[in-house]
Every structure is written in C-alpha cells, then in structure tokens.
Amino acid sequence: MARHLLLRLEGPLMAFGGETIDNLGVIRDFPAQSMLTGLIANALGWRREDPAAHDRLQARLRFGARLDRAGSRFTDFQTAELRKDDCGWTTTGQHEGRGGGDGTYKGQHLRYRDYHADAAVLVALRLDPPEESPTLEEVANALQRPARPLFLGRKPCLPAAPLFAGWGDAPDLLSALREAAPLAANERPRVLWPVGEGALRGSRQLDLCDERNWTSGVHGGWRPVCEGVLQREAEA
C-alpha cells in the first residue's frame, strides 16, 4: 500500500490550461502536471528563480484526477490598451516596457481565456521517492497553511474550500481515486491517471504534454496517461 494525499479542487472559476495558441488560452478537463507543481511550490513559498527545485518536484509528482462535477465552460474576452509610458509586470520582477514608434501603441491587446465554472475535481497524489524533501506530509501542511495565497490555474481562480481533503492508502492512484469516497449508483465520473497506476475496463491511453521546463518557461515532452469512466467496485 502507498499513501496518497487527496486534494479537492473546487471554485467558482478554475482554469486547467492546455497548449496556448497565439492569444487563445484554452483549457483541459483535468489539471496538468505543471499546474500542480506550481500550486505546491507556491504553497511552500518557493520562487520561480529556483527552477531546479520546481523541475525536481515535477519529476517526483505522481497524480490522478477524478472529475466529480464537470460544471460548464465559458470564454472571457479580455482587452487592454497600453500607452507608450505604461509598464507591464513580469514574473522576473522587472518592469517591461514596449518598443517601437508611437503608432505601435494605438492597437489593443486582445485575449481570449477559457474557464471552468462551478467544477469540482478530486486529486490523489504522491511523491517518489517519498523520503525526499519536500515530503508528502510537508506538502499537506503547506497546503493547509500556505506561504502565499493559492489559485487554481489563473490568479482570478480562488478555491472555494480548503484544498486538503485527507489521506488515502491504496496500491495505486486509480484505486486511491475509486476509494476516496463511495460512488452512488448513478455516479460515473471521468478519471485520468498515469499508465501503470491501475487498470480500468474501457479506458484509453494517450500521450499528454503537460510538463513545464521551469528554466525556459515553456512546455514540452510527452507522458503516457489513461483516461476512462470510473465504475463502482462491483462493475470494474
């Protein structure tokens, strides 16, 4: 048996980002490996200036997710017009201005950002190897007493309830998701979990690009995952 940390991701708005194309901020149904890494790192009080720690945490992270409530989706249209003397805030802590002639400031910045509304996701996770710092217990403590405010994908997406949802002992991540709470007869939630962490009849395997290179700030690489519809124990 392995010990798994359970998280409840729930809020009026959430954004599980996918591959951004130009000014389109698309979302996925399940949280990404990089998002959970950033969430935990933020709770621990880490800074982006330490990419090696983020990369190592991401490499150790094993998680599965259960979509308990799909909610709905909507697209937010965002627009802003910057003047020549306006400065933008960046993650490096340095103000960023705009170059070019006066004519370049007459155009507006246009963005489309997708969001989940009123969704709820249960996450089961563990860290391998378990004895390395931060340990799972240290992560649990940080999520209950975070060093900084936490958000679910984007900064406007604040949790509606504490993220810590307890512990689960199970042989693999899929079992941890199944056993986290009893499923009613009419409940068939979708689940996502890594290959090798349980088997489910009727599931499909796919390659997912959801890991971040914390030094360069871009996503890359693929990892194999499984996606399916969770059944009650008697039906599995």
User: What is the pTM for the complete model shown?
Assistant: 0.86
Q: What is the pLDDT of residues 116-162, one digit of tens each?
A: 999 999 999 999 999 999 999 999 999 999 999 999 998 889 999 99
Domain residue limits, the chain: 2-73+117-229
Domain spanning 2-73+117-229: CATH 3.50.50.60 = no
3-class SS string, the chain:
CEEEEEEEEEEEEECCECCCECCEECECCCCCHHHHHHHHHHHHCCCCCCHHHHHHHHHHEEEEEEEEECCEEEEEEEEECCCCCCCECCCCCCCECCCCCHHHHCCCEEEEEEEEEEEEEEEEEEECCCCCCCCHHHHHHHHHCCCCCCCCCCCCCCCCCCCEEEEEEECCHHHHHHHCCCCCCCCCCEEEEECCCCCCCCCEEEEECCCEECCCCEECCCEEEEEEECCCCCCC
Q: What is the pLDDT of residues 172-231, one digit of tens each?
A: 999 999 999 766 656 789 999 999 999 999 999 999 999 999 998 888 888 999 999 997
pLDDT score of 175: 96
